[in-house]
Amino acid sequence: MAHNTCCSYASFCTNSSDVPQVIPPRALRAFNAVAGTMALWVDKYRPHQLSELSYHTEQGNHLASIIKAGDFPHLLIYGPSGAGKKTRIHCILRELYGSGVEHMSVSMKNFEAPSGKKLEIQTVSSNYHIQLSPGDVGIYDRVVVQEIIKQMAQTQQIDTATQKQFKVVVLMEVEQLTRDAQHALRRTMEKYSATCRLILCCESIAKVIDPLRSRCMAIRVAAPSDHDAVEVVKVVCKAENVAIPDTAVASVVKKACGNMRRILLMVEAIKAQSCASEENQFLPEPDWEVYLKETARMILQQQSAENLLKVRSRIYECISRCIPPSIIFVNLLRELLHYCDGAIKAEVVARAAEYEHRLTCGSKAIFHLEAFVASFMDIYHRQLTENASDL
């Protein structure tokens, strides 16, 4: 059995006696107005309908036509971080159920594993859908997936004449599910397909099993082009009445590598410095990026077993601070390639592709990251030795 502990407007009150039975409309409007002014730009200007999407508009039109057709399939939406996967999922839900889907609450659901272990997972839900990341419970994800889908499928819509006959379960970070959970998900989605639809979201489908992929319509959300990202920033800056030089915007877009969320956060950080109109803007850089740059310089300075252990501990520190291993890999590679001779760049990239694939398919990220660093040290040291002998 699962039990809910909801957190909503009531959490702003000091105790249960302070919570009004009915929130006065004037108070609710005032609360929403204050929340709107405090919202980050990335949330404040998030599109709510497919027709409002700023880029990949053809894809948005295709999704809208699928929804209007009535035969809504299971979806597998994948793409890089910050490309707009969650935004499109929310737009799809809005198209399916209307504005009621935006009345959401955060809940903690409790489950019990067959072994008797108590499990707790955070969910975001409305009357029409539920969203969660089952990978948060580790090896017990199969229990959570099956129970959540079963509960949603057995809960009928109040008015099926005006609403869809099915509810939606949104599963985030599907690539983190164990194979056991993925097979259980395949069986469960077939059993309850009449009353429940699934939207699966992930960055890469490499770790999603083929039987699960074949039962979903796969939709790839690519990162926006630099031109599209610049246009979005211009629209947001105009709405906020903020003037930021084109050179600063171009620098932000280039640095963010297509991550629209990061682009808007960086632009808002520039605006917060109260000198947005200056040409030579300092672009704020996260501490973990500086840390990885220092790690890359350590690799380049000395290629030895002792230094490899030091680099390993620094990489493990990043992983323990919840920096995704794929991001660590890409940032290290990008920084190392800056200092590589053209003669070895092709070999370094080939090794990087090999170890990145292993990283995606494996479960122990530190092994593959350390192996790549050791491989790079070997290539780089060999090149330094050859250059020294030529002299």
191, amino acid identity? K
9-31: average pLDDT? 42
Q: Which two tokens stand for residue 291?
A: 């840390």
Name residue, tokens 């060999």.
Answer: 382
pLDDT in tens, 108-129: 988 888 888 888 899 998 989 9
Percent of the chain exceeding pLDDT 90 equals 47
Strands (E), the chain: 3-7, 75-78, 105-112, 118-125, 129-132, 167-171, 196-202, 217-220
Per-domain residue ranges for the chain?
3-220, 226-272, 287-390
* Statement: residue 18 has pLDDT above 50: no
Q: What is the pLDDT of residue 17?
A: 36
pTM: 0.77
169-180: average pLDDT? 91
CA neighbor of 75 nearest in space, from 201, 225, 245, 166: 201
Q: Which residues pair with 131 in a beta bridge?
A: 124, 170
Q: What is the pLDDT of residue 115?
A: 85
**Other C-beta atoms lying within 10 Å of the C-beta of residue 387:** 11
Mean of pLDDT over the chain: 84
**Other C-beta atoms lying within 10 Å of the C-beta of residue 288:** 16
231-258: average pLDDT? 89
pLDDT in tens, 210-237: 999 999 999 999 999 999 999 999 999 9
Q: Which CATH architecture has domain 3-220?
A: 3-Layer(aba) Sandwich (3.40)
Q: What is the pLDDT of residue 279?
A: 52
What top-level class would CATH report for the domain 287-390? Answer: mainly alpha
* Statement: residue 157 has pLDDT above 80: no
Q: What is the pLDDT of residue 6?
A: 44
Q: What is the pLDDT of residue 361?
A: 77
- Confidence band (pLDDT; 50, 70, 90) for 281? low
